[in-house]
Chain A
Amino acid sequence: MSAAAAEDVDDDLWSAIGDPTRRRMLDLLLVEGEGTATSLAQRLPVTRQAVAKHLGVLDRVGLVRGTPAGREKRYRVDDVQLARAVAQLSSVGAAWDARLRRIKRIAEAIQRTQQD
């Protein structure tokens, strides 16, 4: 896979988990282990059709995996892909942690010179 294609996938992954309804669905799937469009729709203030559409988005970026179960599909969270998405967010957070530590150091140094 080329580097550009990998970045495209990552952006899709991020926008897939950026939606509040989809995040709620992931939470439900994580807690309950698995779910179908019907079972998830019973727990959410959206239609079964809307849930099915969201599951399609999550499936395309690999965050959930569906297996046929009767007329429906039963979905589970893909732990590896979810961990990858969380790791990407953590790397941005780590960059801010380093910047904030530098801000703290600079501000405290200025405060000390003003007190002296």
Chain B
Amino acid sequence: MEFGTIEREIYIEASPEIVFEVVSSPDHLKEWWPDDARYEPAPGAAGEIVFGDRDAGGAVVSFTVVDVRPPRTFSFRWTHPAGEVAAEGNSLLVTFDLTPSGGGTLLKMTESGFREMGWEAAVLEQQYREHVTGWDFYLPRLAPYVATLWVRP
């Protein structure tokens, strides 16, 4: 068992060109992962992805494009400290490999770097979502409660 890397494979009934666009373009990335994404899909380009609202306590996370070879490979590093150059040891590396298969595409995803980064970074998004869900749950209940306090003599 390899504990330092996560590997996943999924078959998609769409051409490699389409799948490549979906995994690599910032506009599509926003549809399947963060709430905002700003980067140039070019090797070495540094940018960021945002979970939640940037101006209201959202999590802004560094994102650097590593490799762009349409329609075969797209890879990036994320979770490195802001201002640092993404490299092995300070970030998680995600690689998408696309292989034509039948009438569609076999998409393979590999995420590595947990050995260096620990698991905290990998669940950053999940922790953020849980935090937000918590407030989504409590805030609507808080307002009526405050209202009842207010009308009491």
Contact = CB atoms under 8 A, between A and B. Distances in A.
A23 interface: yes
Interface residues of A, number: 32
Interface string B92-121: 000000000000010101010011101110
Interface string A60-100: 00000000000000000000000001001101110111011
**Interface majority SS (helix, strand, loop, mixed), chain A:** helix
A23 B6 CA distance: 16
A77 B105 CA distance: 41
Q: How large is the interface on B (under 10, 10 to 19, 20 to 34, 35 or more residues)?
A: 20 to 34
Nearest to A85: B3
27 contacts: A13-B119, A14-B3, A14-B115, A14-B119, A15-B118, A18-B116, A23-B3, A89-B6, A89-B119, A91-B123, A92-B111, A92-B114, A92-B122, A92-B123, A95-B123, A95-B126, A97-B8, A99-B33, A100-B107, A102-B33, A103-B32, A104-B107, A106-B28, A107-B12, A108-B13, A110-B14, A111-B14
